Structure formats: C-alpha cells, structure tokens
Amino acid sequence: MDIKDNTFARQFETTVDEGLVSVEYSFQEKKIFLTKINVPESYEDEEFISNFLKNIMEIAIERKFKVVPILPKIVVFFKKNPVYKELLPPGIRL
C-alpha cells in the first residue's frame, strides 16, 4: 500500500479505484491526533481501512509518535488491534 503523508493537508492518503482515502491528523508535541477518515461515497471496504490504519500505526512507530484516537472508528480499531495500544499516550484508556 502506497501511503503519502500530505503535510499541507495534514492527512495520510492512499488511492483506491473509487478515489482518495485519507485520515486527517493534527500534531501536538510528540503526539498525532487522528481526527477523521475520508472515503469515497459508497466505499465500504472495512478491511482496507483497517490495513490503512495499520500502516499509519507503523509510520507512528517509525517516527516515535504517540497516537491519540479522536474518532470512534479509530478507537474501535485500537480495541480490535491491542498490539498497537503501546502507541497510546499515558492516561488514555479505551
């Protein structure tokens, strides 16, 4: 999966046949706040979205960022993938 970190738009992006899939973020100190998932209209491939989020978690690991899930869908991702809970900052409970 080819992921672009579009720092100007503050989002991670990848393309699918239907169009652009992106996860919006903001930074504060060494934390990345994942705020919104954008998908093309009628796009419902949850497995692809999960794999996209896994790739974003790997980027966070590489860059030594803590991840703050703002969006409920991303909170569910963390609950389903406890291996990434180490990326949560101290005090964040899901």
**Residue range 4-87 in CATH 3.40.630.30:** yes
Do the bridges between strand 66-69 and strand 31-38 make them parallel or antiparallel, or are there none, so unpaired? parallel
List the chain domain ranges.
4-87
17-38 pLDDT, tens per residue? 999 999 999 999 899 999 999 9
Q: Residue 91 pLDDT > 90, yes or no?
A: no
Residue in 14, 1, 6, 56 with CA at minimum distance from that of residue 34:
56
Give the bridge partners for 54, in sequence order: none
Q: What is the pTM of this model?
A: 0.91
Q: Residue 54 pLDDT > 90, yes or no?
A: yes
Number of residues that this document lists for the chain: 94
Predicted local distance difference test score (pLDDT) of residue 94: 79
Mean predicted confidence (pLDDT) in 9-24: 96
